[in-house]
Amino acid sequence: MPALLEARDVGKRFGAVVAAADINVQMQAGERVSLIGSNGAGKTTFVNMITGYMKPDAGHIHFDGRDITPLHPRAIVQLGVARSFQISQLFGDLSVLDNMLVAAACHDRRLSLWQAARRDAAVTHAEGLLQRFGLSEHRDRRVVELPGGVRKLLDIAMALTVRPKLLLLDEPTSGVSAEEKFPMMDTIMAALGSERDTTVLFVEHDMDIVGRYADRVIAFASGRIIADDVPDRALATDDVRRYVTGELLQE
């Protein structure tokens, strides 16, 4: 089966800093993959290169059989790649429902000058997603009034509105209290459904979260991949214990 996402010899430098070097990754449809690594290891750079926000200095990224390396972020989204952000990127002055409707409207290439944004199909779809994310009670609240955890969920719900084939989650539980992390990930995974129509790549620092929700772990250090395996094996490697979790350094 051809890979849904394939990075071939991808490299990226910022001056003397190597953010990505010889990155080769393949992801199959339906996989749930976690990117781990210390700060500055190159995780977010990799995500940014997939979404077109940054262009690699070397190599190519293919999605669904197509080279997306030169494409604009908008074109990549239209192909089926959506993302959420480490710091939630929302429309603060609009209501939660309107945020969802903006997401649905943006996905429609033929934006209308007269078709109501609050039309039946869009509102029903948005309300369904809000319900799946447990956000129905916030439907009419302005985003600036929402707590951080709710904003994170809304950010991801908006990314799902475009019905992506690949969903990139950049630290979905960052800034959320320890006791809220697991319920939050449970909500996200439940909202994604058990059919695995959407492939998920998520950046995460909490190894308990990684161990429970990822099928596979890709560990980064200094822009290079140091492990790529199922969570138990990947997290047990010396390189990961030294450069990511820091266990060997402590010993």
Partner 1 sequence: MTTPEAASGGRFPLKGATPADRQSRIRGVRLGALVLNGLGAFALLAAMGFFAPKWLTYLITMSAANALVSLGIVCLMRGGVVPFGQGMVFAIGGYAAALLYNKLGFTDAVGLVLAGGVAATLVALPFAPLLARYRGIFFAMLTLALSMVTYGLGMKLEVLGGSDGFNVGRATLFGWRPPDAHVGYVLYLLTVAVATAMAMLARVYFDSTRGLVTLATRDNELRVEYLGGSVRQAMTINFLIAASCGGVGGALVVLSLGHIEPQFSYWTTSGEFVFVAILAGWQSVAAVFVASTVLEVVRSFSSRYFPDTWQLALGLFLLFVIRFLPRGLGSLWIRKGGK
Assess contact for 223 and 18: CB atoms under 8 A: yes
Please choose, from the candidates 123, 229, 106, the residue with its C-alpha nearest in 3D space to the C-alpha of residue 162.
106
Q: How far apart are CA 249 and CA 132, in angstroms?
A: 42
Dig out the tokens for 2 from the structure.
Answer: 């051809």
| Pairing state between β 166-170 and 81-84 | parallel
Find the shortest distance in angstroms from Cβ 42 to partner 1: 20
**Of 103 and 150, CB closest to partner 1:** 103
CB 45 within 8 A of CB 12: yes
* Sites for partner 1 among residues 157-176 (CB under 8 A): 158-159, 161-162
According to CB under 8 A, which residues from 46 to 65 bind partner 1?
Answer: 51
Q: Among 29, 40, 58, 91, indicate the residue that binds partner 1 (CB under 8 A).
A: 91
For partner 1, the closer of residues 148 and 211 by Cβ is: 148
Among 60, 107, 125, 242, binds partner 1 (CB under 8 A): 107
Strand 17-27 vs strand 66-67: parallel, antiparallel, or unpaired?
unpaired
131 lines the binding site for partner 1 (CB under 8 A):
no
User: By the criterion CB under 8 A, which residues form the site for partner 1?
Assistant: 51, 73-74, 77-78, 82-83, 85, 89-95, 98-99, 101-103, 105-109, 111-120, 122-124, 127, 140-142, 158-159, 161-162
